[in-house]
Structure 1
């Protein structure tokens, strides 16, 4: 199980309003099969979720009979990821940051009400539409109903646990780290390596929140 996927995502050559997600062409057949399986999971989840204002639209999909090649086409968000925007030199108001946190929370609540656990919540997996509103992406490793997750959260968004299962609590923990990232414009413990972060999280030693806006909300998510 991996903490992220390595699918290729690029604008469709015939329509730059769309983006095509497919397995990396240079992977071995077994790895391509794994990535197609993730695409199939994503399609399954989109069929359940249908349209929602916190999700980008799935346009079409296809895969080969042997399941070593395939693709999913989505609408393309030109602004890019929330993570990249936070890291840019753009002027961002506190009101805008709060809106993004509320929008992310709304999207995750919708997923949970639909029987879906995202399993990799972070600003990298949120994009901004033309109205600068958050939309949640990447369900290729998500859990739905009784199906186990196909990936795990990145270290800064990962709730330490003995079993690599995802549930509402693990998504909420990741949401707390994402809110921290949005309000601070930097991820939790940005200066530390992942091994140190893992050890601190196991001790429930999280970043200081006294001067962090929304700190009390983040603290609840991290409990």
Structure 2
């Protein structure tokens, strides 16, 4: 709560304050009229490249702001992304976030979105958020995360081996695939930076600079 209260960015859900009684904690949050992006994704199956690029660009901007303040989110997923009344994306739920300049060792987050270094119980840094952007970009375009498997063991194996394949349907542009493969790199130091994401031709060609997805 302390981390989220300290953050003020158009693509981060504001936490204005909190109070508690003997049993509960009440959080005073910005209202996100559109609800979870997860629900939109499940309803549509997958998103258009323009919507997907707009959401990825919004996330990259918000995460760049977080990383400048030494905050790693560590649990970016569709259930933790909300939409306001104009369809702008808002990052919510900072329950796994940490504010630190040193590498971390806690394994946390959600199975399908974990970076290889977390699966292998190695130290991690901001690059875990960049990996998750690659997972989300894939999920936005194909409707499911790339390393999904029947068992946790198989999912972990696919993540560690970066066992990445692109289905033939729906049709997705080569530029979008290029961005995804630039983020889903096992060596965290070689993943695309957030700035490189924002400069990527696919983002420039497709993303709405205003971040508004209602009319896309």
For the pair 1:123 / 2:78, whether they are aligned, the reply is yes
TM-aligned CA deviation for residue 145 of structure 1:
1.9
After superposition, the C-alpha distances for 1:58-85 in whole angstroms (9 at most, x for unaligned) are 1221246x9x742322122131111211
For the pair 1:186 / 2:144, whether they are aligned, the reply is yes
TM-aligned CA deviation for residue 91 of structure 1:
8.9
CA RMSD of aligned residues (A): 2.8
Q: Is the 8 A contact 1:120 1:142 kept in 2?
A: yes
After superposition, the C-alpha distances for 1:90-120 in whole angstroms (9 at most, x for unaligned) are 8954312211111111111111111100011
The partner residue of 2:126 within 168, 174, 177 is 168
For the pair 1:59 / 2:16, whether they are aligned, the reply is yes
| Aligned partner of residue 44 in structure 2, secondary structure | coil
The normalised TM-score by structure 2 is 0.71
| Aligned partner of residue 88 in structure 1, secondary structure | helix
Measure, in 1, the Cα distance between the counterparts of 2:179 and 2:45: 25
For the pair 1:221 / 2:183, whether they are aligned, the reply is yes
Matches within 5 A, 1:87-98: 87-89=42-44, 92-98=47-53
Q: Is the 8 A contact 2:5 2:16 kept in 1?
A: no
The normalised TM-score by structure 1 is 0.69
Residue matched to 1:159: 115
Matches within 5 A, 1:128-147: 128-145=83-100
Count of residue correspondences = 178
TM-aligned CA deviation for residue 198 of structure 1:
0.7
Measure, in 1, the Cα distance between the counterparts of 2:69 and 2:144: 30
Residue matched to 1:44: 2
Instruction: Mark the runs of 5 or more structure 1 residues left unpaired by the alignment.
Output: 1-42
Instruction: Mark the runs of 5 or more structure 2 residues left unpaired by the alignment.
Output: 186-216
